[in-house]
Structure 1
């Protein structure tokens, strides 16, 4: 049962629960319609609240959108960091990082549409948060690359950017048609990334991975 359904059935909610309910409703509307076509009336209706209640928590549509962007752009770098820390095997690290992006685009809440396909990227606050998220994801990958190779930080970061950019771009493309099973798509991207990264020598003290 969703937060919105719980609110509809249970009447008054604590402020934090009401906020979560409103964000859940807004998420579905923004994912379906985009920012510009979304209406506060529809968000309130989907959340089973009146517009005054919605405006008590979020003064405007942009405030709602920025709250969701902040939530998702903070979450994805944490997921990438967790993937990189999930194993000491470098090839498995690559696979785990790639899986993170496929999992993100396949989520039922369609958060990736707000993050990667937003019709509001011209808004500086939105663009800034998305850019920060991408930089943090790339830095998480680059940190491991630099730790295990003789590459300078700048070069490792470029490889991190390439890995993240490829993973999210292919995951989004796969999501549009799903012409191959997800595990096949993940394997293709992981193999491509790994074969490239494996060409860089490890530190002398590092065992072959």
Structure 2
């Protein structure tokens, strides 16, 4: 049984441990936010989706923004950990590039649509949201820049600029690929972008 089916199947009022209830509410909120966007979503919708009363929802999250930020924190951390794991998966820099590109494609492809909260939020004018989105983008680039700086001996500022370019290309192309209907298999799409990236970054440092 999937997490969604479990959410739908659980009778209203079933008692759960606090952590399990929080995770259940976050799962329900993600479904609603991804489907409707922040502004159109209502706490009533989320409570109904989770099969709980609104007072139960408010016991865990004081308001809609708190719930959204908790989800954003969760998925920003997941993306950062995926990028770090990709970088740590090999000492071959060409394979590191490939693994990092695929980490972005995997994040975007996830059926829960979490990437929409991070990269396509309708709440980016909210400072707390903008801060988190900017931070995860920079944290991912910072992790990549450490490898670039170590390998190329470029100054850290230059390595960071290259890393921002690589990460930006990864997430934009992955989102385009998904939005275009995944007409190219993920493995092929990821390899195309990693090949483009490697052909560029392998040329540094410029002699």
| TM-score bucket of the superposed structures, by smaller chain | over 0.9
Corresponding position of 1:207: none
Residue 7 of structure 1 contacts residue 18 of structure 1 at CA under 8 Å; is this kept in 2? Answer: no
Distance in 2, matches of 1:89 and 1:158, equals 21
**Alignment match, 2:28:** 25
CA contact (8 A) 1:104 1:112 kept: yes
TM-score normalised to the size of structure 1?
0.93
CA RMSD of superposed structures (Å): 1.6
2:105 maps to 102
TM-score using structure 2 length = 0.93
Equivalent in the alignment of 1:205 = none
Q: Which residue of 2 aligns with 1:191?
A: 195
CA distance in 2: counterparts of 1:78 and 1:159, whole angstroms:
20
Which residues of structure 2 form unaligned runs of 5+? none
- Once the two structures are superposed, residues 93-132 of structure 1 have per-residue CA deviations (whole angstroms, 9 ceiling, x without a partner) of 0000000000001111110000000000000000001100
1:81 aligns with 2:84: yes
Q: Are 1:117 and 2:120 counterparts?
A: yes
Give 1:142's aligned residue: 145
Contact 2:13 2:51 in 1 (8 A): no
Superposition deviation, residue 179 in structure 1? 2.4
Divergent runs of 4+, >4 A? none
Aligned pair count reads 202
Question: Is 1:38 matched with 2:41?
Answer: yes
Q: Distance in 2 between matches of 1:106 and 1:189?
A: 15
Bigger mean CA offset, 179-188 vs 76-85: 179-188
Gaps of 5+ in 1: 203-209
